[in-house]
Amino acid sequence: MIKATLPVLLLALTSTFAKYIPKTGRRIPQTLSRGWGDQLIWAQTYEEALYWSRSRNKPLMVLFHLEDCPHSQAFKKVFSEDDKVQKMLDEDFIVLNLMYETTDKHLSPDGQYVPRILFVDPSMTVRADINGRYGNRLYAYEPTDMGLLFSNMEKAKKLLKSEL
Amino acid sequence: MIKATLPVLLLALTSTFAKYIPKTGRRIPQTLSRGWGDQLIWAQTYEEALYWSRSRNKPLMVLFHLEDCPHSQAFKKVFSEDDKVQKMLDEDFIVLNLMYETTDKHLSPDGQYVPRILFVDPSMTVRADINGRYGNRLYAYEPTDMGLLFSNMEKAKKLLKSEL
């Protein structure tokens, strides 16, 4: 019941400050989290995320999703409400959620489906070895896979040795 | 006076719904607009922006800025409050604001300074011919340049003919 009022509150809030008003009416400002964790600090682009990952020596989690995909939405609900996962992401990871594919083919080792999670080591190596439980979509996760995701995050935290 | 309360309101709002709370305290969710126009629909990445530009046959405006750059902040204030510019951007353009450079060198024809505005035609041609008034930084704009920016937007609306 409380959640249903969030868009209304945000709308009321923006209407107070916005000067330009679209013909179709006032809009709710888009957030970078897109609902996947409002308390996390999300990178905007893959370039930005890689820069943060390298400079802070933290692994990067890239999450591909779509707003009109019911699997993405169902997964988002449990993902955003999982305290353990949110805490570890906040403290130990760089996070990026994307609705459009990048030009880097390494982020789609077995195709461009959603929802899909890839981990990237600070050495800029995509951890294709860290995958979920579905043979035909190795980087897909479902709402029941949060435990597996958490243990995969622990794997990603064990950084690859730099060869430099 | 009213504006000063916005972060407080947003903070109050998120504290009602957020489950995970960072050790350093609750955060205000980041917006995609980053204050450059809360009523515009911003693309998140360059790939996404190019896709929208091509599929909707609208020119793209790419705006590079930094949150700790006083020139960016001064320009943002007049930019976000200029109704004419905001309306035309909303109705006739695809918009993208970035704080990190892309890998595409065409978006930095004369260097990677901020604030900097490049227009891209739906044919995916960067309009290096559309520039501001500063010879040493061709794509820079200052708060007094809103009239020039508007006329440059009108230039960008005259699409290049596709050679296909």
pLDDT digits (tens, 9 = 90+) for A119-134: 999 999 999 999 999 9
Residue A122's pLDDT is what?
Answer: 97
- How would you write the pLDDT of chain B (164 residues) with one tens digit per residue? 344 445 555 555 554 455 899 999 999 999 999 999 999 999 999 999 999 999 999 999 999 999 999 999 999 999 999 999 999 999 999 999 999 999 999 999 999 999 999 999 999 999 999 999 999 999 999 999 999 999 999 999 999 975 55
In a mutational test of the B interface, the residue from A39, A93, A150 whose CB has the highest number of chain B CBs within 10 Å is A39
β-sheet bridge partners, residue A37: none
Q: Which residues of B touch A76 (CB under 8 A)?
A: none
Q: Is the pLDDT of residue A30 over 90?
A: yes
Facing B18 at nearest CB: one of A14, A17, A38? A38
Residues with Cβ within 8 Å of B88's Cβ and at least 6 positions away in sequence, in order, are B150, B153
> What's the pLDDT score for residue B5?
47
Is residue B29 reached through a cis peptide bond, with omega within 30 degrees of 0 on the bond before it?
Answer: no
User: Burial, B65: exposed, middle or buried (Cβ in 10 Å; 0-12, 13-18, 19+)?
Assistant: buried
pLDDT surpassing 60 at residue A16: no
Name the DSSP class of A25.
-
Task: Name which of B29, B47, B103 is nearest A33 (Cβ-Cβ).
Answer: B29
What's residue B161's pLDDT?
78
At residue B4, the pLDDT reads 44
The pLDDT of residue A4? 44
Contacts of A46 (CB under 8 A, 6+ apart): A62, A96, A98, A102, A104, A107, B45
CB-closest option in B17, B26, B32 to A3 = B17
Domains and their CATH numbers in chain A: 46-157 (3.40.30.10)
Assess whether pLDDT exceeds 60 at residue A10: no
Amino acid A19: pLDDT: 82
Q: Which residues of A touch B2 (CB under 8 A)?
A: 16-17
The whole-number average pLDDT for the span A5-33 is 73
pLDDT given at position B130: 98
List for chain A the helix, strand, coil content (%; round to 5). 40, 10, 50
Nearest chain A residue to B46 by CA: give it: A45
Q: Do A31 and B26 touch (CB under 8 A)?
A: no
Mean pLDDT (whole number) for A30-44: 96
Give per-residue pLDDT as tens, A57-82: 999 999 999 999 999 999 999 999 99
Tokens of B138: 């061709």
Closest residue of chain B to A14, computed from CA coordinates: B38
Res A73: pLDDT: 98
pLDDT of A52 higher than 60: yes
Strands of B90-134 (E only): list them.
94-98, 116-120
Q: What is the mean pLDDT of chain B?
A: 91
